[in-house]
Structures are given as C-alpha cells and as structure tokens.
Amino acid sequence: MDALHEKKRALDEHLRQLGSVAVAFSSGVDSTFLLQAAHDVLGSRCVAVTVRSCLCPAREAEEAAAFCRARGIQQLTVDFDALALESVRTNPADRCYHCKRALFSKIQAAAAKRGLTFVAEGSNVDDEGDYRPGMRAVAELGIQSPLRRARLTKADIRALSREMDLPTWDKPSYACLASRFVYGEPITEEKLTMVDRAEQQLLELGFRQMRVRIHGDMARIEVPSEEFEKLLPHAAALDRAYRGLGFSYVTMDLGGYQTGSMNRMLGQ
C-alpha cells in the first residue's frame, strides 16, 4: 500500500473507532472529503452539521445541502449569529478563537441532542503552518481533527477526493468572509454583504481562486498573478460595480492571491 492510501486507511480506522460523529460541513474541499469518508465508514452514525451565518456566503450552504441530498447523508443546520459576539464584531487578532469556540459549542450541543459522541472538523496538516487561533478552540473543546491525525495534506485530500469522484476535488480554497477584514476593523453585516457581492462578481467572470479584501472603504482584489491579464479588461466595469456596492476605491494587489494575507499585519 502506498503512503497516500496508508493515510486513508488510518483515517478510516480512526473514524471507525469514534463510533459516531457530527462533521462540521461547509462544502469546502476538506470538510466534503471528511464527511464522505465518515459516511462511508459510519453510515447513519455520521451526520453533517452546516452552519448558517452572515460570515458564510449563502451559496456555500446551498452547495452543502445539495451534496448531502445527492449522497443520502443526514444533515443538520445550525443558525449562528457571529456578530452578536463583541469578540467577533470588533475583530481582534484572536477573533477566530472566539468565533470557533462559540460555533463549535453550538455544534456540540446539536450533536449531543442526536446522540452523536464526537464532533469532527476538517483541518489538514497544511493548516498547522499558518496563524490559526481557531485551532486553540478546537483543542480546548475536544473537537476531533481526523485529517490532521492521519497526516493528510491538502494535496493528499484533493488526490483522494478525485479518486472518490467528489465534486470538490479541484474546488478553490475558501475561508469565512471575516478573513477579508483588517484586524481591528469592525465587522458589520453591511460590509460582509459588500465583500460577498464583490467576490460573486469575480466568480461570475470566471475567477475561481480570488479574494476581495476590505480596508475601510477600499476593496483590494487578489487573483493569481498569472490571471492579471484576464482581470485588467474588466477593470473599469469592476470599478463602477464596486463603487455601486459602497466602495470608494478599488485596487488590485500586485502580489497576487495569497492565503491569509491579512496575517501580515500581525507583525507590524
């Protein structure tokens, strides 16, 4: 057995040992793979739990529901008012810790009502190399991280997802909309909507891996550097459209798309 499939075997064995599990399911690459693997091993003892929040685009929740229907996987939906928490709304550097702590507590409560023993989330080995305060909440609450335990990387997950015919095998990486804000800049539902609609316009133009970061009333567009030429013909139209959303200035980041680019501010 090669190294990749040995990791998958270890993942399946760990899931089997858990006995029953609620999988925090966002419809992203990692959580989709984890959910399918858990469903394959545990059947009805695996339930997807999807959170509805202003921090997550509605399209992601819709994709999650469609996936569960198509695969015959039980799904629970949990409403989460993240902005009711001052520790999220004011957007401190450890915002993700407070958000994950409250969020996973709600998921644990929902899982307990269904008689499920564990809650699992989809972080992978590559997530260990970035600033992710939410990991502390995961550890404190005893949330399971089966993909990290099996030492699966993002590349591993994509390769196995392709083998399993999962539609997310080549889906771009995503993150909650709060990650588009500079730390310390208050998060409001109005600005979340601005960012969501701005990114939706890029998606409709065919950009898959992209971000629109918000700096006050400025939008900073990130696309991969090899797609700069693809973006430039739309510059004038995007400028008009984004001003219509409420932005005063629209810029393109010459550094290109970078995961977690707002974390650069932490060292300044």
Element (H, E) at 154: helix 154-163
The pLDDT tens digits for 66-124 are: 999 999 999 999 999 999 999 999 999 999 999 999 999 999 999 999 999 999 999 99
Instruction: Calculate the average pLDDT of the chain.
Output: 94
The pLDDT tens digits for 181-221 are: 999 999 999 999 999 999 999 999 999 999 999 999 999 99
Mean pLDDT of the region 128-139: 83
pLDDT at 132: 79
Mean pLDDT of the region 253-260: 86
Cβ(241)–Cβ(197) below 8 Å? no
Nearest to 177 by CA among 188, 169, 168: 188
Domains of the chain: 3-163 (3.40.50.620), 177-267 (3.30.70)
The whole model's pTM is what?
0.91
Instruction: Print the SS3 string covering 8-47.
Output: HHHHHHHHHHHCCEEEECCCCHHHHHHHHHHHHHHHHHEE
Residue 268 has pLDDT above 60, yes or no: no
The DSSP code for 52 is E
